[in-house]
Amino acid sequence: MSTSSDARVDAEFPPIKPQHTGLVGKCPRCGRGRLFSGFLSLAEHCEICGLDFDFADPADGPAFFVITFACIPVVAFAVWMEVSVGAPYWVNALLTLPLLLVFCVLPLRPLKGLMVATQYYHSAREGALDPANHVGTGPGR
Ligand SMILES: [Zn+2]
């Protein structure tokens, strides 16, 4: 159910696709304010439109995607270097550590921004039971 306040906000800030705001760390509502106050720390609110970022909870989502799509291939590369090529440890470390830093640390921020912007775009909220409609098997049944 939308309220008149929601309608006013919708008119003032038309929806912006999450990939246009989140990937570049911009506010999901206005697309101009900064989403982050540090490398991975979210700001408390947007300095342009005042949107409170308390709703944002990407949890371990960015880390999951980085581990799945970046860390595992890089570690597989390191194992392949060790087993097939037989490279010395220092060569393996010299190649693998920069790959881990580039492919695992750098994508965290855009992924976190994308997840927060997607949460806002789809109005995703934490699930909760509605006590009026809750069908349970407790003592009242
Ligand atoms: Zn904003």
pLDDT confidence bin for 113, thresholds 50/70/90 = very high
Please check whether residue 53 is in contact with residue 116, taking contact to mean a CB–CB distance below 8 angstroms.
yes
Residue 129 confidence (pLDDT) = 75
CA 124 to CA 44: how far, in whole Å? 18
CA 136 to CA 141: how far, in whole Å? 7
Q: How far is the CA of 5 from the centre of ligand 1 (A)?
A: 16
Q: Structure pTM?
A: 0.76
pLDDT in tens, 123-141: 887 777 776 766 655 554 4
pLDDT in tens, 3-61: 556 666 667 888 999 999 999 999 999 999 999 999 999 999 999 999 999 988 888 99
Q: How far is the CA of 24 from the centre of ligand 1 (A)?
A: 13
Residue 72, token pair as written in the block: 């595992």
How is the chain split into domains, by residue range?
A: 7-121
Q: How far is the CA of 128 from the centre of ligand 1 (A)?
A: 27
Residue ranges with CB less than 5 Å from ion ligand 1? 27, 29-30, 33, 46, 48-49, 51
- DSSP H helices, 1-132, are 4-12, 18-21, 61-66, 72-80, 89-100, 108-121
